[in-house]
Amino acid sequence: MRLSSLSNSLLFLHPKPPFPMANLTTTIATSTPRARLKGIVFDMDGTLTVPAIDFAAMYKAVLGGDEYRRIKAESPSGIDILHHIENWSPDKQQKAYETIADFERRGLDRLQIMPGAAELCGFLDSKQLRRGLITRNVKESVDLFHKRFGITFCPALSREFRPYKPDPAPLLHICSVWEVLPNEVMMVGDSLKDDVACGKQAGAFTCLLDETGRYDSPVYANVDLKPDFKVSSLNEVYSLLNEHFDLAP
Ligand SMILES: [Mg+2]
């Protein structure tokens, strides 16, 4: 596990430190005021559910092998498939959406809740922390997830909410519904380019779930976007929250 400390995140990563930078060193040396946290917003696929969609195969099916390889080489942090098909002709776009929906449907058949997700939700409840969800998947998938999981996230925004991640709009919308500031919220997700980018742009704390250590690859060494925290399992999120945040209601 590689976890950046809160002081590092405030100094180098977080866009809106909650106290003046000039006082930071002495403040940390004595008693560090912890940032208040009032809610957590989760990504769904690969974060609250075990990865069940073969995204590389989906992108290849939509873009074709050559185009897939070309775009992949240009986008080290990942491919934004919805963005790529946005300006296609209606016929071509329709076909692409059908291909994506087919992959998502097959993913739903294999849907499994991520280990630690239910326990983490219980912990959030015990601290009266709100929980929301933002996904680029469709509402139908969110409805099925809620039904299978038996725990509800509110608001839960799917790709029918435009603009979708990595745009900060869905996260800012949730903050406004909750009547909290973005820097009182943490975005947790397994995608640097969608979840961390969305959280950062909104001014929220960000936590990257990297189960396999794929973001330790040299491919990401020169990517500017960095999360405030990184965990390899949802089970690590409790200690992170307890250690670095004021969770009082
Ligand atoms: Mg995901």
pLDDT exceeds 50 at position 138: yes
Same domain membership, residue 205 and residue 180: yes
Closest CA to 237 of 106, 35, 10, 42: 42
Same domain membership, residue 205 and residue 237: yes
pTM: 0.80
Please give the distance, rounded to the nearest whole angstrom, from the Cα atom of residue 193 to the centre of ligand 1. Answer: 10
> For the domain that residue 148 is a member of, what is the CATH number?
3.40.50.1000
- C-alpha 117/C-alpha 121 separation (Å) is 6
Please give the distance, rounded to the nearest whole angstrom, from the Cα atom of residue 209 to the centre of ligand 1. Answer: 9
Return the sign of the alpha-carbon dihedral for residues 214, 166, 224, 117: negative
In a domain, 1, yes or no: no
Same domain membership, residue 62 and residue 40: no
In 3-state terms, what secondary structure has residue 133?
A: strand
pLDDT exceeds 80 at position 91: yes
Same domain membership, residue 38 and residue 76: no
In a domain, 96, yes or no: yes
Q: Of 109, 125, 143, which residue is a domain's last?
A: 109
pLDDT tens digits for 179-192? Answer: 999 999 999 999 99
In a domain, 17, yes or no: yes
What is the side-by-side strand order in the sheet with 229-231? 156-157, 130-134, 39-42, 185-189, 205-209, 229-231
Instruction: Determine whether 45 is an active site residue.
Output: yes
What is the DSSP annotation of 19-62? S-GGGHHHHHHS-PPPEE--EEEE-SBTTTB-----HHHHHHHH
Please give the distance, rounded to the nearest whole angstrom, from the Cα atom of residue 194 to the centre of ligand 1. Answer: 8
Please give the distance, rounded to the nearest whole angstrom, from the Cα atom of residue 247 to the centre of ligand 1. Answer: 25
**Burial group, residue 72, by CB count within 10 angstroms (0-12, 13-18, 19+):** middle
Report yes or no: 35 and 245 within 8 Å, Cβ to Cβ: yes
In a domain, 201, yes or no: yes
Same domain membership, residue 81 and residue 184: no
Same domain membership, residue 122 and residue 46: yes
Half-sphere exposure of 112 (CA within 13 A, CB side): 8
Please give the distance, rounded to the nearest whole angstrom, from the Cα atom of residue 191 to the centre of ligand 1. Answer: 5
Q: How far is CA 72 from the centre of its chain?
A: 21
Q: How confident is the model at residue 74 (pLDDT cuts 50, 70, 90)?
A: confident
Same domain membership, residue 121 and residue 217: yes
Same domain membership, residue 117 and residue 59: no
Same domain membership, residue 83 and residue 45: no
Provide the domain count of the chain.
2
Same domain membership, residue 204 and residue 235: yes
Q: Can you read off the two tokens belonging to residue 214?
A: 């794929």
Same domain membership, residue 204 and residue 154: yes
Residue type at position 23? N
Same domain membership, residue 101 and residue 134: no
**Active site residue: 43, 195, 210, 228, which one?**
43
Q: How many CB atoms sit inside 10 A of residue 235's CB? A: 14
Please give the distance, rounded to the nearest whole angstrom, from the Cα atom of residue 27 to the centre of ligand 1. Answer: 36
- C-alpha 20/C-alpha 57 separation (Å) is 47
pLDDT tens digits for 10-35? Answer: 333 444 443 333 334 333 444 668 99
Residues of the domain holding 68 = 55-109
Q: How confident is the model at residue 107 (pLDDT cuts 50, 70, 90)?
A: confident
- C-alpha 144/C-alpha 48 separation (Å) is 13
